[in-house]
Structure 1
Amino acid sequence: MEILLIIGAAIIGFTLVMIAVPPILRVARQKNLFEPFEERKIHKGSIPSLGGVAIFFGFILSTIIATDGYTFDSLKYIIAAVILMFFIGLKDDLMVISARKKFVVQLFAGIILITLGNVRLTNLHGVFGIYDIHYFVSLFLTLFIMIAVINAFNLIDGIDGLASGLAIVASAFLGMWFFLASEIQFSIMSFALMGSLAAFFLYNVFGHRNKLFMGDTGSLIIGLVVSTLAIKFNEFNIIKTNPVSIYSAPSVSFAIIIVPLIDTLRVITIRLMQKRSPFSPDKNHIHHRILELVPNHLQVTSILVIATIFIAGVAILFNNMGLNVTVQFLLVFTLGILFSFVPSILAKRKKTKLTHQPA
């Protein structure tokens, strides 16, 4: 019965998004609701960025339907926070608002989840020798992680299928673990997100006339839900009594969302070193660098998705080897940093070779 509900959540989410996108596109075309052209954008055509609306309805409805009959105290607060992300993201997609306003709403949504929804980190599993943490430290650390993940997915959403592809991997991995650990409510929620994103992925990557972007509406929702799932994954692994318990949950959960997090850290560091605002747009993201080597969106997305799966696999290998949890976390972090700079190095070498070629 449980597996049917989980599969059902994915199917319902997928179906709802597949059905919702065509009318959303019709409204967008009739009302001329297209993403404004910017020089730094990779896409040159007018493409609606309201895919997040479909993701929102697919995820919310499939989660509510499939968890019916289960005690899921956190769900109403998760939905409340997702609704906040939906409206601030939609407003930004339609009107463009300041980063400060988006940040304030993100803080508010995070505080709702932490204080009312009990979605917070209470233990660091021995990373840097730290186990139980004080409530206020827990509150601020969890809020920082939520904001970081939300904005990381927002910033990585630069080419077709990338943000949705990375989130599909994260939600599938977490959803499978929740199922094996008998945390069915969160497994349902994970697969509801996965199914909704799978349908969006098809339109976004292969849509042609029915192509659309997820916009801030979609990326903010994805970041919020994935951060919630990752935090609960860590919390469920504090007591190692379950046969599928992960000894070093922080490093494994970090590994499955490492690409957007490391990319955000990297671009912000570059901007600060260049004495620019950390929020100023540019083309220094990892997908921009790979595009210089492989000028195809789907191939670039595939490379980054495969890299995520590889790093997650390495993290699980380290976990099974029983390495010190701090060592595991630092190794995964170092692997992510090294990977993030490889495309830049290769792109520079390619430019150097082209420059020195005889005329």
Structure 2
Amino acid sequence: MELSIVLQLASALLISGFLVYLSIPVIVRISEEKNLMDKPNKRKVNKKPIPNLGGVAIFIGIIIAVLLAIGRMEYNDLRYILAAIIMLFFIGIKDDILIISPRMKFGVQTVCAIILIVLGDIRFTHLHGIFGIDVLSYTSSVVLSLITIVGLTNAFNLIDGIDGLASGLGILMSLLFGIFFFVWGHLEYVILCAAIVGALYSFSLYNLFGHRNKVFMGDTGSLIVGLLIAVMAIKFNEFSAGKSVYFAAPMLSMAIVFIPLGDMARVFIIRLKNKKSPFSPDMTHLHHKYLALGYSHLHASIVIVVLNLCVFVIIYTLRQWNGYALLMLLACFTAMLPYAPRVCAFVFHRVQNILSK
């Protein structure tokens, strides 16, 4: 590996992490002075008001780190990615401070997706033979890409319910996508992944272990990170052309984002079955089940992130299987999600008992 590449990746990681680390204490102080706090209620897990503008620091860290680390490298997609996340930044801040309707949030997400798809040409162009479909028509490509971007953005937003979970999953996903992008030679996206990892790592230190400067990601952060993960999922499928994982690429990308995607699908089905809006808030998410069993935020987040990693490892190991078989396996994993907390608790207690003897 060339020294210049190492320096670019290291600078993206360190600059984003350093900026977030410096920004959060300032953001917390301003939030406390202006009373910009996430206040407890019956469906929230925090017991006292906590600043929820950590996404501002994540936004600053990622953008500045990528712009500085990219150097003279060609990155045509960056202008459209920046336009989209800047729009989400402002709608996220408004929602964190004033609360906006799901319809308005959905509308802005749709506009951001259209910018990426139509102007940036960041979209699926083939289905890798799944359902007998290879090359997609332009209309089908736009529709599928729109559903993916808006869906994953919302999925990541919905999974941000306990300390450390959204940042832990974001770090894992960025690392996995970044490894593939590095091997395939798309260093511009590796830099983006490194910047996300650095920003989320520094944020998680305050989110999980902060006392004086504890902070939440808020919609500002979860929407931005969710959209970036969606972009990477699309690029993963596009960059896989001609690679050994080509036919398994859609299932691999779904495995990388398994927990947010699977939990959103499960929760939406439950809400529709109960004749509620899919976006109506409740306490039925996977992380709520872990908390109900007595897990701490840190332990629940670690278990869920490891669960996501295990699903990816299984799908990657079986990547030579038929695509339909891998899809069915992912569907089975999704159906098993409600039972995961109790299974994990049972295994944990058994191991604890064995070690204590």
Q: Same fold (TM over 0.5)?
A: yes
Aligned to 1:39: 42
Aligned to 1:210: 213
2:332 to 331, 334, 337: 334
2:154 to 151, 176, 184: 151
Write the deviation string for residues 267-309 of structure 1: whole angstroms up to 9, x where unpaired: 1111111111211111100011111223300000000000011
Contact 1:250 1:329 (C-alpha < 8 Å) held by counterparts: no
The alignment status of 1:325 with 2:328, answered yes or no, reads no
1:81 to 80, 84, 87: 84
Residue identity opposite 1:156 in structure 2 = I
CA separation in 2, counterparts of 1:79 and 1:233? 19
Task: Find the residue that maps to 2:38 and give its secondary structure.
Answer: coil
CA separation in 2, counterparts of 1:132 and 1:211? 48
CA separation in 1, counterparts of 2:224 and 2:79? 15
Offset at residue 111 of structure 1 (A): 0.2
Offset at residue 86 of structure 1 (A): 0.3
Correspondence list, 1:1-359, <5 A: 1-240=4-243, 245-319=245-319, 322-343=320-341
Contact 2:128 2:246 (C-alpha < 8 Å) held by counterparts: no
Residue identity opposite 1:205 in structure 2 = L
Contact 2:129 2:247 (C-alpha < 8 Å) held by counterparts: no
Distance of aligned partners of 1:346 and 1:55 in 2 relative to their CA distance in 1, 3 Å threshold: closer
Write the deviation string for residues 181-239 of structure 1: whole angstroms up to 9, x where unpaired: 11000010011111101100111000111100010000000110000011001000122
Task: Find the residue that maps to 1:294 and give its secondary structure.
Answer: coil
Residue identity opposite 2:301 in structure 1 = T
Write the deviation string for residues 107-139 of structure 1: whole angstroms up to 9, x where unpaired: 000000001112100111112221111101100
CA separation in 2, counterparts of 1:285 and 1:217? 20
Offset at residue 346 of structure 1 (A): 8.6
CA separation in 1, counterparts of 2:342 and 2:285? 9
List gaps (5 residues or longer) in structure 2.
Answer: 346-357
CA separation in 2, counterparts of 1:124 and 1:294? 42
Distance of aligned partners of 1:325 and 1:201 in 2 relative to their CA distance in 1, 3 Å threshold: same
Task: Find the residue that maps to 1:190 and give its secondary structure.
Answer: helix
Task: Find the residue that maps to 1:276 and give its secondary structure.
Answer: coil
List gaps (5 residues or longer) in structure 1.
Answer: 348-359
Aligned to 1:352: none
Residue identity opposite 1:49 in structure 2 = N
Residue identity opposite 1:180 in structure 2 = V
Contact 1:78 1:113 (C-alpha < 8 Å) held by counterparts: yes
Distance of aligned partners of 1:200 and 1:80 in 2 relative to their CA distance in 1, 3 Å threshold: same
Task: Find the residue that maps to 2:318 and give its secondary structure.
Answer: helix
Task: Find the residue that maps to 1:151 and give its secondary structure.
Answer: helix
Distance of aligned partners of 1:7 and 1:247 in 2 relative to their CA distance in 1, 3 Å threshold: farther
Aligned to 1:351: none
CA separation in 2, counterparts of 1:22 and 1:35? 16
Residue identity opposite 1:250 in structure 2 = P
CA separation in 2, counterparts of 1:74 and 1:2? 19
Number of aligned residues: 342
TM-score by length of 2: 0.93
Range moving further from structure 2, 257-266 or 288-297: 288-297
Contact 1:203 1:210 (C-alpha < 8 Å) held by counterparts: yes
CA separation in 2, counterparts of 1:333 and 1:10? 35
Offset at residue 327 of structure 1 (A): 1.6
Contact 1:51 1:212 (C-alpha < 8 Å) held by counterparts: yes
Offset at residue 140 of structure 1 (A): 0.7
Residue identity opposite 1:333 in structure 2 = A
Range moving further from structure 2, 157-166 or 334-343: 334-343
Residue identity opposite 2:173 in structure 1 = A
Task: Find the residue that maps to 2:313 and give its secondary structure.
Answer: helix
Contact 1:123 1:238 (C-alpha < 8 Å) held by counterparts: no
Distance of aligned partners of 1:346 and 1:165 in 2 relative to their CA distance in 1, 3 Å threshold: closer
Percent of counterpart pairs with the same letter?
44
